[in-house]
Chain A
């Protein structure tokens, strides 16, 4: 009579077919550090701009649908600071914003970089940036002009006219300062008392329609001057 094979010997045979994972592990151990090296730990965002207008526009009376004069702002960037031109301005003078020394809160944990946690005393938590462009005042001037003219589609564009020797990062920070409405509370703020409060201010988030799905809404930053046009003096 045939004997039933013992369970121990039977299970041992089955175990003998275990997959050897060591080579796969070796590949993964090489592949993963390589991919981590290539991986970006920062997020890339893009900003759309209109193709440049060559030469400065001649001032002309442009009016929107409600017969209100159209706001046609130009921010000129030079090595001395900003100059804001309202091209068809009804007697409004150009606004000069000179570069100045600004003091910023400089804690390692940038989430704690609030004026409250930084304190008002000069100390280790504060650093002075010499001869900085005054983006806070720029925001204050353009947002007040926008508030006077309203949120119509005609008033969405701002012209940026940098001098040729102005670094690209200054141009980008200027666009960043004028493209969305900022807030420190519930309504959008038109003036910031300190450079720090401007730096830390969050964009005003509004419930807006989702493009391609107009029936649904999402919370997005409210636009101030989202259409950017470069002006290049030839």
Chain B
């Protein structure tokens, strides 16, 4: 109280008879104590987090596109579905008379499928590299004009292909990106093949031995898992129709893909699908 009457001892100023300093200090205190309310921001971020986690975890294929894997585009997909009475459980395989082909704008990939990814450099089974009997990685060999493809060639093929497919790309833009006619023609000569050693020494064969081995073990693994799940739940094991989904780069020629399809068939994965990116135009 004495300080108020005699003035501020620290600054040496006389006491403010109007009480102006007091009001100013109070205002300053109010201003500094105000904090940003982040509750609503936190709500938005939590909803976004849940949405992203659900979207990512519900995707059975989980495809990541890059210069070595650019999926072809398609406006819709078709597949066989089984018509059955509501509430009637399907026993065994769907009878031919109950099968109906259904086309949809985006035919979603089924669960419990074996994803086989064919990139410009390797083949992946369930996003893991396939090992050969020597312990090396099963590779798709890329050759360009008698030499092994360089990283730059693959990157150029990706850039030019992407620009060419994009809506609104002008010829000048293609030229500016270095995608000249001669370069595109040169890159179109890229050849992709599996080595003869992976096909039992004969390059003309279709069966890729390391892939067949891995596919069979993957198929057994899924069947074992379904049996285990059924045992823990105390029911009968769910009937699984062995199916594979082929996720192949659009620039790869048909030959290696036909070899993978044939190998999948030999590993008794007869139900085949291939993945594409859905778009509105053809």
Contacts and interface: CB of A to CB of B under 8 A. Distances in A.
Interface stretch (A67-75, A91-99, A166-174): A166-174
Contact of A47 (B65, B78, B252): B78
B277 A212 contact: no
B101 A169 contact: no
B77 to A, nearest CB: 4
A64 interface: no
Contact of A39 (B41, B52, B181, B276): B52
Interface of A: 21, 24-25, 28-29, 31-32, 35-36, 38-40, 42-52, 54, 106-111, 113, 124, 127, 130, 135, 156, 162-169, 171-173, 175-177, 179-180, 198-201, 203, 208-209, 211-215, 220-223, 226-228, 230, 232, 234
B253 interface: yes
B45 A168 contact: no
B49 A164 contact: no
A32 B167 CA distance: 30
Contacts of B84: 211-212
A48 B281 contact: no
Nearest to B74: A176
A169 B83 contact: no
A232 B263 CA distance: 13
B59 A40 contact: yes
Contacts of B108: 45-46
Nearest to B282: A199
Given A176-B282, A179-B103, A211-B100, A49 B272 contact: yes
B253 to A, nearest CB: 5
**In the complex, which range does the number of interface residues on chain B fall in?**
35 or more
A52 B262 contact: yes
B63 interface: yes
Interface in B202-216: 206
Nearest to A51: B265
B254 interface: yes
A92 to B, nearest CB: 25
A97 to B, nearest CB: 16
Given A51-B261, A211-B81, A226-B103, A28 B276 contact: no
Contact of B79 (A40, A43, A47): A47
Nearest to B262: A52
Q: Among B41, B82, B254, which residue has the most Cβ atoms of chain A within 10 A?
A: B254
